[in-house]
Amino acid sequence: MSEGIVKRFMYVNRKAPYGTIYALESLEVVLIGAAFDQDVTLAFVDDGVYQLKKDQDTKGMGVKNFSPTYNALGDYDIKKLYVEKESLEERGLTQDDLINVVYEDEDDDYAEKPALFVVSKEEMSDIMAQQDVVLSF
């Protein structure tokens, strides 16, 4: 790909998975953005934190479980997933309840490093303010 302009894209996820199509659609658009070598950040606030709950099992409901895809984001060079601490706490959740998202650092012998970070609402606010483009789901 030719050298293009790289912008900071943030995808803000505020909806729970499965009840609506937003979470899955967000993931699709995130992967498109990554394919264009943009600087991608994902934010999970409000019910969006439920998208990252581990142990999702959709067999009884008969639809595809798309939560393993979050684990593959590192392969697309997406390594900044921020989860708002206040949204987790209000729902009785901690980081231990979430999927462990990592990426392989090619500059460090492909060591696995964390890609998911729990941040305060103040930190989330700062991260949002730094973006060029914000897409909300």
Minimum distance from residue 118 beta carbon to other proteins (Å): 17
Q: Which two tokens stand for residue 70?
A: 């979050």
Report whether 16 contacts 47 (CB < 8 A).
yes
- Site membership for other proteins, residue 132 (CB under 8 A): no
Amino acid sitting at position 122: E
Among 1, 2, 5, 92, binds other proteins (CB under 8 A): 92
By CB under 8 A, name the one of 65, 120, 125, 136 that touches other proteins: 65
Least gap, CB of 40 to other proteins (angstroms): 24
User: Among 6, 21, 29, 63, which residue interacts with other proteins (rule: CB under 8 A)?
Assistant: 63
Q: Which stretch binds other proteins (CB under 8 A): 33-41, 49-57, 112-120, 127-135?
A: 49-57
The residue within the footprint of other proteins, chosen from 61, 96, 107, 109 (CB under 8 A), is 61
SS3 content of the chain, % helix, strand, coil (to 5): 35, 25, 40
* d(C-alpha 106, C-alpha 31), whole Å: 20
By CB atoms closer than 10 A (0-12, 13-18, 19+), residue 106 is exposed
Check residue 24 for interaction with other proteins (CB under 8 A). no
Q: Position of tokens 């581990």?
A: 54
- Interface residue list for other proteins (CB under 8 A): 14-20, 46-47, 50, 53-61, 63, 65, 67, 90-93
